[in-house]
Amino acid sequence: MLFNSYFFIFCYLPVVFAVYYFFVLNHRLVCAKLFLAIASIYFYGFFNTSYVILLMLSIAFNFTVGHVILGSRDSNRKRAIMIFGICCNLLLLGYYKYWNFFLDNLALVGPDVTWPTIILPIGISFFTFTQIAYLVDAQQDKVSEHGLVDYVLFVTFFPHLIAGPILHHSEMMTQFTRRHQNFRYSNIAVGTTIFVAGLFKKVVIADSLAVFATPVFEAADAGLRVTTVEAWAAAVAYTQQIYFDFSGYSDMAIGLARLFGIRFPLNFFSPHKAANIIDFWRRWHMTLSRFLLHYVYIPLGGNRRGKTRGAINLFLTMLIAGIWHGAGWTYVIWGAMHGVYLIVNRSWLSFRQEAAARLGRPLPQIPLPIAVLITFTCVVFSRVVFRAGTLDGAMSMVQSMLFQGPTFPGDVEAYTGGSAALMKDLGITFGAQQFVPLRDWGLMVATISASLLLVWFVPNVEQIVGRYRPTCSNMYWNEQHHWRTWLRWRVNTLGATVTAAALGISVLCLNRTSEFIYFQF
């Protein structure tokens, strides 16, 4: 079931909301939580009922292992049980997510044997990582005893089940186990507003950008020559598409949770405003970054054993991040690229700090707009590899962007008039096949430009509704920006009108519904 579908918005959500609060208002909280857990399992099974059994077996296994860990007093035994549980989770994830990739690569060097294709259960990475974090926290005595219904709801709660955020037991269970839940109009207003904002991001902005990115990447994957202009436009369009697609989903998840009185952790905080790659990863998919920091990078040793070992651990962490995103060499290379980015960024900061200490004064800062543009450009190139279906397609895109002279479709020459000869003298060539119709180039430039203006110059959704503390994180509005106060959303007639207008526009765009990009991870 998709958040951006008529059935979810006009059928599933109203029914679940009404029945849940019927139980809450009648002081039947256990029934309310049980119903919400069953409704969440139905939400998951809507995609493929056969994998509901897999989800429930995973929950039963981790719940049992967690209770064994919590009931043990021997630290060595607790650690051994935790390792056993993590290994079982990783084996399950590896089988469903990477078995096909393993067989494809084995076929290149081994005998031609036909194996059955494994269908990836949707959301398996997210509910597996959530439960791995739970087992680690249990071993470290960071969780308390809880009931089965509470645990099932913690794992299956439908706003985060498919594509995150990755939740921690400590920040969620206290909310799920509260003895009293109240129906609050502010929760309904804030939750609806954030959900509509996310829906607008997805169906109006992200899906509009996909129109300009998809045909170009598909052409490159098919071995066709892509023009310089289209390659750059597609790369930036996809970078913006995945930004609005995933941040839109994260906003929708936060809004839906708030409808039920639950505050999720923040998962996005304007990552394209980042002035360096380190800052980018503090803002992009924040719950994944948190998971990688606490459960991969620090256990590897972090930077406690020197700069060289710290750089290796950082690279390995990002390599794991790439592998987590998908079973393909493009994801491995994407993770390696960000590992190198982070190492270079950290080395540069260390160099500046040491140089400032020698000079006795701080070095001049790179102007913020330039730093943001450099960071964004690095992200764009990594997104080319991330989006490409094949390594050859990725190399073709990069070659078109960097290593060939400016190339335009043949139709463009007719519009240049007498300047065509001069352009050719400057090394510009014409005649390449085009994949975005020339009549749409104006719309393409306008759409991409508008998306960039939004991410660079407009506060994010959590800042706009920051006075209502939409998440359980602490990154909200910077109070010194008084000139932006008119953008602060309020529970009033104007706020309701803006939300209703955005909802109306979004609903009109639901006829071109597409899945969220992160569903495949």
Give the pLDDT confidence of 173-182 residue by residue, as tens digits: 888 766 556 6
Q: Which of 69, 68, 44 is nearest to 56 (CA)?
A: 44
Q: Which of 148, 183, 218 is the last residue of a domain?
A: 183
Mean pLDDT, the chain, whole residue set: 86
Q: Are residues 248 and 397 in the same domain?
A: yes
Mean of pLDDT values over 426-430: 61
Q: DSSP state, 143?
A: -
Choice between 422 and 155, residue whose per-residue pLDDT is larger: 155
Q: Are residues 137 and 209 in the same domain?
A: no
Backbone φ and ψ of 408, nearest 5°: -125, 155
Q: Are residues 143 and 46 in the same domain?
A: yes
Residue 346 domain-assigned (yes or no): no
pTM above 0.85, yes or no: yes
Mean of pLDDT values over 362-382: 94
Side chain identity at 262, as an amino acid letter? Answer: I
Predicted confidence band at 477 (pLDDT cuts at 50, 70, 90)?
Answer: very low
Sign of the Cα pseudo-torsion (19, 38, 518, 283, in order): positive
Q: Over 60: is that where the pLDDT of 479 sits?
A: no
Three-class SS state of 164: coil
Pairing of strands 407-409, 429-432: parallel
Mean of pLDDT values over 418-438: 64
Q: Over 90: is that where the pLDDT of 467 sits?
A: no
pLDDT for 408 equals: 67
Choice between 398 and 169, residue whose per-residue pLDDT is larger: 398
Q: Are residues 82 and 157 in the same domain?
A: yes
Q: How many helices (DSSP H) and strands (DSSP E) are in the chain?
A: 24, 2
Q: Are residues 267 and 131 in the same domain?
A: no
Q: Over 70: is that where the pLDDT of 485 sits?
A: no
Token reading at 107: 């076929």
Query: Are 192 and 159 spatial neighbours (Cβ–Cβ below 8 Å)?
Result: no
pLDDT for 409 equals: 65
Q: How many CB atoms lie within 10 A of CB 185?
A: 8
- Of 146, 160, 272, 325, the active-site residue reads 325
pLDDT for 39 equals: 96
Q: DSSP state, 440?
A: G
Three-class SS state of 501: helix
**pLDDT tens digits, 120-174:** 788 888 899 999 999 998 998 888 777 889 899 999 999 998 887 988 888 888 8
Instruction: Give the Cα separation of 408 and 426 in Å (integer).
Output: 13
Contacts of 370 (CB under 8 A, 6+ apart): none
Lowest-confidence region among 253-257, 267-271, 429-433: 429-433
**pLDDT tens digits, 66-115:** 999 988 888 899 999 999 999 999 999 888 888 777 776 665 555 565 66
Q: Are residues 501 and 437 in the same domain?
A: yes
Instruction: Give the Cα separation of 477 and 489 in Å (integer).
Output: 12
Residue 443 domain-assigned (yes or no): yes
Instruction: Give the Cα separation of 480 and 223 in Å (integer).
Output: 52
Contacts of 348 (CB under 8 A, 6+ apart): none
Mean of pLDDT values over 299-314: 89
Instruction: Give the Cα separation of 317 and 461 in Å (integer).
Output: 30
Q: Are residues 177 and 219 in the same domain?
A: no
Q: Are residues 23 and 159 in the same domain?
A: yes
Q: Which of 500, 235, 200, 174 is nearest to 386 (CA)?
A: 235
Three-class SS state of 408: strand
Residue 143 domain-assigned (yes or no): yes
Residue 125 domain-assigned (yes or no): yes
Residue 121 domain-assigned (yes or no): yes
Secondary structure of 241-252 in HEC code, one letter for each residue: HHHHHHHHHHHH
Q: Which of 135, 163, 183 is the last residue of a domain?
A: 183
Residue with token string 């950082």: 314
Q: Which of 132, 149, 183 is the last residue of a domain?
A: 183
Number of structural domains found in the chain: 2
Q: Are residues 225 and 178 in the same domain?
A: no
Mean of pLDDT values over 501-519: 83
Q: DSSP state, 426?
A: T
Instruction: Give the Cα separation of 436 and 409 in Å (integer).
Output: 10
Instruction: Give the Cα separation of 344 and 509 in Å (integer).
Output: 42
Q: Are residues 77 and 177 in the same domain?
A: yes
Query: Are 460 and 269 spatial neighbours (Cβ–Cβ below 8 Å)?
Result: yes
Sign of the Cα pseudo-torsion (211, 212, 218, 222, in order): positive
Instruction: Give the Cα separation of 38 and 29 in Å (integer).
Output: 14
Query: Are 249 and 202 spatial neighbours (Cβ–Cβ below 8 Å)?
Result: yes
Query: Are 193 and 247 spatial neighbours (Cβ–Cβ below 8 Å)?
Result: no
pLDDT for 357 equals: 87
56: domain range?
6-183
Q: How many CB atoms lie within 10 A of CB 106?
A: 12
CA neighbours within 13 Å on the CB side: how many for 438?
Answer: 11
DSSP string over 389-404? SSHHHHHHHHIIIIIS
Which percentage of the chain shows pLDDT scores above 90?
52
325 is catalytic: yes
Q: Are residues 114 and 258 in the same domain?
A: no
148-156 vs 29-45: helix axis angle to the nearest 10? 40
Three-class SS state of 425: helix
* Residues forming a β-bridge with 432: 409
DSSP string over 324-383? HH-SSHHHHHHHHHHHHHHHHHHHHHHHHHHHHHHHTSPPPPPPHHHHHHHHHHHHHHHH
